[in-house]
Structure 1
Amino acid sequence: MTAPAVAAPGPGRLARAAAAVATVAVVLVLLYPLLWILASSLRSAGEAATGLSLWPREFTWSNYTAGWSGVNGVGFGAFFRNSTVVAAGAVVGNVVTCLLAAFAFARLRFPLRRFWYAVVIGTLLLPQHVLMVPQYMLFRELGWLNTALPLIVPKLLATDSFFIFLIVQFLRSLPENYDEYARTDGASPLQLFRHVILPLSRPAITATAILTFIWTWNDFFPQLVYLPMVEDSTAPSGLHQYAIAGGLSAPGPMFAMCVLSLLPVLLFFVAFQRLLTSTSTTSGRMAAHLPRPRARR
């Protein structure tokens, strides 16, 4: 009696296994710097700058209390509070103004609409550092230096053309039969925006809020330029102030504050990622079942 032959794995199964191995390898490579920072935040002063191991020989939890004390009497709690104010203002400004601007470009009809939309998209080609000098001179004349106004007020004027483009593309993917239905019933553009566009735009709003918060929280250069004083520093510029004040000689506390600076971004993304997924599914079902407008008589 012969043993049953074992079928050799097919090329499809081998390809899936290779893809899984490659994915795991890429994930490990991407996670290694984060894990190394976490491990370095728990190393002693003598061990912090040696080796690439992910396991400290001695867990030094006092690095977190030492780093939280901050720079020149200003604790990292103040830096986190300043970052929260700037990020919250940027999120509110971008969500409100970019959504209104995108609604105008995607749903309203006015002269030179395509031209002005092209101008807005064209600003994406301008490097941030090219605009920094004239913006700095303008804010200096307004007396806004050493305040959070240069980081918040521009967001209230729909200056982030990327999010205008993002929301316009989302609104164009929605069928226009609800617009026609609302206009047939005599709805004004403001009523159309409030009762039709706004409820369907939750996925775009969520994506705008998530990206704005992450980019603003991590935005180092403008915060360093407009908020040079230690007491006004945000988390990224506060880390810079800590490093130049001697933090490089004791990197453990500095790495500990790096870990704490990453936590708000990670928590914000994890908290709102589910909302983004659920609203995308819900709005897709709503758009697929929108009733057709009533025929005009």
Structure 2
Amino acid sequence: MITSVNNDRVKQVVSYIEKSKARREDDVFVIEGMKMLREAPVLQVREVYVTERFLDGASEDDKEILWRYGAEPVSDEVMKKMAATQTPQGVLAVVRQYHYTEEEVIEGYNEADKEAAPLILVLENIQDPGNLGTMLRSGEGAGVTGIILSKGSADIYNPKVIRSTMGSIFRMPFIYVDDIPGMLDKLHKSGISTYAAHLKGKKNYDEFDYTKPTAFLIGNEGNGLTKETADAAGEYILIPMKGSVESMNAATSSAILTFEASRQRRS
């Protein structure tokens, strides 16, 4: 059992939690909890840690999974040091990062509906990890087939993002790109219509046909889309709001648009 918070492996896990550079260099990220471990593809899991307290109350099925991974027992103090949460669940794993190609994201693939047209989220400078994680989670629920992020967006492997995805990180293809307007040009050439959520939109979001290949553009929480990116979109679309509300939360906007596409595709 690892009982010292100064253990080298413990320090390494802490660096993965705290530093995106460490995660990039070792090509890993950290997940917490038995639910996330169950959802993780077996070949992606590099190492697992568990507390005796968790093992004492674990089901035989959970113990079998932990045994299969060769989970390393650690003290409660060590787990608290390694975990990103205030009240650790008692299970933590280091997982290998995913690497998708541009083609995989643009072409799209929906496991639930293999014939569905691509449905893509293009996210520019999304900063809040909770928002980004929620977008992955709600996007999966709406049938989003891929996500394109600007280099100025939050690190998708930030522990707060990972928690918010609730497992969608394992199933949602994504790429980071340097040039969002250039990527929009590629989408247009691939036959994908692009729609920018924008206050200058003249038509409401539910007036368009999203059964065809579609990409929605969502901008920064405070500033929205940059002018260059918004101007490169095929259409501006508006989410109408009542009262004195001037803008919509980025994750909420994403959910509204993608679930409208989902509704149309079910009809």
Greater helix fraction, Structure 1 or Structure 2: 1
With normalisation by structure 2, the TM-score equals 0.23
Higher-RCO chain (CA-CA 8 Å, sequence separation at least 6): 1
Greater strand fraction, Structure 1 or Structure 2: 2
With normalisation by structure 1, the TM-score equals 0.21
